[in-house]
Structure 1
Amino acid sequence: MGHLDNKTALVTGASSGIGLAIARRFAAEGATVYVTGRRKAELDAAVAKVGARGIAVQGDASNLDDLDRLYAEISERSGRLDVVVANAGVGDYGPLGAITEEEYERTTSINFKGTIFTVQKALPLLPSGASVILLSSSAALRAAPGLGVYAATKAAIRSLARTWAAELADRGIRVNALTPGPVETPGGDELRAAFPHDGHPDVAESAAPTPLGRPGRPEEVAATALYLAGDQSTFTTGAELLVDGGATQL
């Protein structure tokens, strides 16, 4: 028996990296898993890795029409949603003085607005005992020059987890923040490539060292997501669980 047998889960931004690893682990533990992503080809490849329990719904977490379409499909096919993982996110390099409006709008729309409405629009489908998991980042806890806007959105997500945990407690719905540190993902590789090598802090250097001597793996974050999603964490809400190899604490 799996830890999520007969559960229905949603993982946004699950085309690759941490989101895909979470979707695969949830499916392996018995859940029906809806996975979303903006690019169809990548999403189709991802759901093939999730397996027969995976259901792909193409869409952008920052587009409210896409979210309405997503939840209409979940409602029709499953009727409820036991786990929501608001994972969709982006990060653009932009130190103060070089932040563009386009980069600001993209980062805040997907990371912050997308998280808010992903959870708000899920509320009618969430029963008592449901678990909401918000993906934050260790960048919100450490100074990362060039990542100010990204870090601010992730700090806001941690704040939302506290507020929503209080607001939804009377419904028996738990809300927690899951905060990875440096993790080997395609998105992280793209961000490292964007950093200059002219004396500014290099993400490749700041991301690799941790007290454990290595970056994390998406599967290690997925294991913590499984804990938050399942019955082993029924007394955990409003918390922030760090999966960062000790980088923010040691």
Structure 2
Amino acid sequence: MRLALRTDVADLAQIEQLKTAILERGDRLDVIFANAGVAHNNSLGTTHEADFSRIFDSNVKGVFFTVQTLLPLLNDGGSIVLNASVASNKGMPNLSLYSASKAAVRSFARSWANDLKNQQIRVNAISPGVTRTPIMENGLKMSEEQIAQFAAYLVDAAPAGRMAHTDEIAAAVLFLASAAASYINGIELSVDGGFTQI
């Protein structure tokens, strides 16, 4: 039976409530996919502390405390997959906070792979490339015209010649979480159609 629980990972009390709900059902976890995150543009020189907090509270603090809080429920031999981003490797303009937050997530995968080796828990990061999701409109405030221009840019900029579909990202996450990836640990898997590889 599936259970969906809405949780704001920037609110540590809500993460604790999530843990309690799982415990009350008597459930354990085989996989933690720390996927929640926000993306907003920021301009160096006019960025406010609230802008910094908004991104780092979700993308860094939220990831850290989601994993830490749920870790006691994760079975030995389980898997943790963290959602990073190719933005941490590209130096894109007006995305310094987002890029830095995702670089921190990638760093967690390296450290935690070592921290959790005695429990044989694998920790990997997935770094999606440009993927058509509502974050473009809701977070980055891109217009349909801007999105179309970005899609046109990718025709030449990425060997795949297009944006990713969400199911392509999900398939890569499922692979990293599965027994098929049993000897993969601490990596960053770029699922970007080659965008950051050329």
Shared fold per TM-score greater than 0.5? yes
Alignment of 1:92-111 (within 5 A): 92-111=40-59
Match for residue 161 of structure 2? 213
Unaligned runs of 5+ in 2: none
- Provide, for residues 194-250 of structure 1, a one-character-per-residue CA deviation record: whole Å limited to 9, x for no partner: 58x9xxxx7764565022110001100000011011110111110111100100001
Higher relative contact order (CA 8 A, sep 6+): 2
Preserved CA contact (<8 Å) 2:127 2:188:
yes
SS class of match (1:57)? coil
**1:89 counterpart = 2:37:** yes
How far the C-alpha of 1:55 sits from its partner, in A, is: 1.4
Q: Percent identity?
A: 41
**1:67 counterpart = 2:15:** yes
Preserved CA contact (<8 Å) 2:136 2:142:
no
Match for residue 173 of structure 2? 225
Unaligned runs of 5+ in 1: 1-52
Alignment of 1:237-248 (within 5 A): 237-248=185-196
| C-alpha distance in structure 2 between counterparts of 1:54 and 1:141, whole Å | 36
| CA spacing shift, 1:70–1:192, aligned 2, 3 Å | closer
Match for residue 124 of structure 2? 176
Preserved CA contact (<8 Å) 1:135 1:178:
yes
Preserved CA contact (<8 Å) 1:192 1:203:
no
| C-alpha distance in structure 1 between counterparts of 2:124 and 2:48, whole Å | 31
| C-alpha distance in structure 1 between counterparts of 2:56 and 2:64, whole Å | 11
**1:249 counterpart = 2:176:** no
How far the C-alpha of 1:54 sits from its partner, in A, is: 3.2
Match for residue 150 of structure 1? 98
TM-score w.r.t. structure 2 length? 0.91
Letter in 2 for 1:116: F
- Provide, for residues 92-117 of structure 1, a one-character-per-residue CA deviation record: whole Å limited to 9, x for no partner: 11110121222111100000000000
Segments ≥4 residues shifted beyond 4 Å: 202-208
- Provide, for residues 118-157 of structure 1, a one-character-per-residue CA deviation record: whole Å limited to 9, x for no partner: 0001111111111000000010000111000000000010
Letter in 2 for 1:63: D
How far the C-alpha of 1:183 sits from its partner, in A, is: 0.2
| C-alpha distance in structure 2 between counterparts of 1:227 and 1:58, whole Å | 25
User: Could you say what the CA RMSD is over the residues aligned between the two structures, in angstroms?
Assistant: 1.8
**1:134 counterpart = 2:134:** no
Match for residue 7 of structure 1? none
